[in-house]
């Protein structure tokens, strides 16, 4: 015969279980209850548009957004035009989440105060711009590269690795992408892979010597790992349906490099 639990004891256990459940629910971030990404959904009153099509399909939209919100002063991190600097960057990246040049500006501005999760006068965590870019355009290697660049800039080297791996998978013969990959492996002390990707980057004529110098100084530079030139594909020039600035977002010598805008 099954022993019956004392009703008072049963009520006590049930109350304890409900209290634990309530505590767990409170501990969950608000976005979990909403079933929305932490950085918000991608809906926007204007767009969102694909920056890679900023020279063709969305040329008018890109010109309109940049003329009002991404002027030279904004790009160079000096001041905003229609709002604060953070406000204009936010508008630009809500309309064009994978705007490679604007994302590069975010990295540079955020680097001024690495202790803050926000841009000055901003109301969205800096990392959210990269999270949103990757969610919007997961097939765009520049979004992964820039996310990795941001993570490197704040010392989160191990977390940067999968983003660079994604970029290399999407664009295996891009010299900047291979350089970035080699750099992040070097920072994670994987010298074999650091050299492997460095050799490929330089075989593809990447111009900056920083990674090579680092490997030489560490005694890990090994030209025998260089790929057969016959296996390399010539890097395509910027396409008609992508602004030139979106092609590469290199990290030079461990620091996010400025992405030049045509």
pLDDT tens for each residue of the chain, 262 residues long: 545 556 555 555 555 544 443 333 333 344 444 455 689 899 999 999 999 999 999 999 999 999 999 999 999 999 999 999 999 999 999 999 999 999 999 999 999 998 899 999 999 999 999 999 999 999 999 999 999 999 999 999 899 999 999 999 999 999 999 999 999 999 999 999 999 999 999 999 999 999 999 999 999 999 999 998 888 876 554 444 445 333 444 444 444 333 333 3
- Give the span between the Cα atoms of 96 and 213, in whole angstroms: 37
Question: Could you tell me the pTM of the whole model?
Answer: 0.76
SS3 256: strand
| DSSP H helical ranges for 111-222 | 126-136, 141-153, 157-170, 175-187, 191-203, 210-217
Burial grade of 261 (CB within 10 A; 0-12, 13-18, 19 or more): middle
Q: Answer for the pair 45, 91: CB distance below 8 angstroms, yes or no.
A: no
- Give the span between the Cα atoms of 7 and 14, in whole angstroms: 10
- Give the span between the Cα atoms of 51 and 95, in whole angstroms: 9
The secondary element (H helix, E strand) that includes residue 255 is: strand 255-256
* Residue 33: predicted pLDDT: 46
* DSSP code string of 34-101: HTS-TT-----SS----GGGTTTTTHHHHHHHHHHH--HHHHTTS--SSS-HHHHHHHHHHHSTT-HH
Biggest CA pair distance of the chain: 83
* Residue 28: predicted pLDDT: 35
Q: For residue 205, what are its two tokens?
A: 């004529």
Buried-state track 103-122, b at ≥16 Cβ within 10 A, e below 16: bbbbbbbbeeeeeeeebeeb
Distances (CA, A) of 250 to 56, 63, 77, 99, 161: 25, 25, 18, 15, 15
* Residue 60: predicted pLDDT: 98
Return the bridge partners of 129, or none: none
Choose among 27, 25, 29, 46: nearest CA to 37: 29
């Amino acid at each position: 015969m099954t022993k019956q639990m004392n009703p008072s004891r049963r009520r006590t256990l049930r109350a304890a279980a409900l209290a634990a459940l309530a505590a767990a629910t409170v501990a969950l971030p608000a976005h979990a209850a909403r079933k929305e990404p932490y950085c918000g959904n991608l809906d926007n009153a204007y767009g969102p548009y694909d920056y890679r099509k900023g020279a063709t399909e969305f040329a008018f939209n890109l010109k309109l957004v940049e003329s009002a919100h991404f002027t030279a002063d904004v790009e160079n991190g000096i001041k905003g035009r229609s709002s604060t600097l953070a406000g204009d960057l936010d508008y630009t990246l809500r309309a064009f989440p994978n705007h490679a040049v604007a994302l590069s500006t975010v990295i540079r501005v955020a680097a001024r105060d690495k202790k803050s999760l926000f841009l000055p006068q901003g109301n969205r965590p800096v990392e959210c711009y990269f999270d949103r870019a990757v969610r919007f355009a997961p097939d765009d290697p520049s979004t992964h590269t820039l996310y990795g660049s941001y993570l490197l800039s704040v010392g989160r080297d191990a977390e940067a690795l999968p983003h660079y791996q994604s970029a290399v998978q999407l664009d295996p013969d891009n010299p900047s992408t291979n350089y970035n990959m080699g750099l992040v492996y070097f920072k994670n002390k994987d010298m074999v892979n650091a050299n492997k990707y460095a050799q490929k980057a330089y075989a593809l004529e990447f111009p900056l010597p920083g990674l090579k110098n680092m490997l030489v100084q560490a005694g890990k530079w090994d030209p025998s790992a260089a790929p057969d030139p016959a296996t390399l594909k010539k890097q395509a020039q910027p396409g008609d349906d992508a602004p030139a600035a979106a092609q590469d977002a290199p990290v030079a010598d461990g620091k996010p490099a400025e992405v030049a805008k045509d």
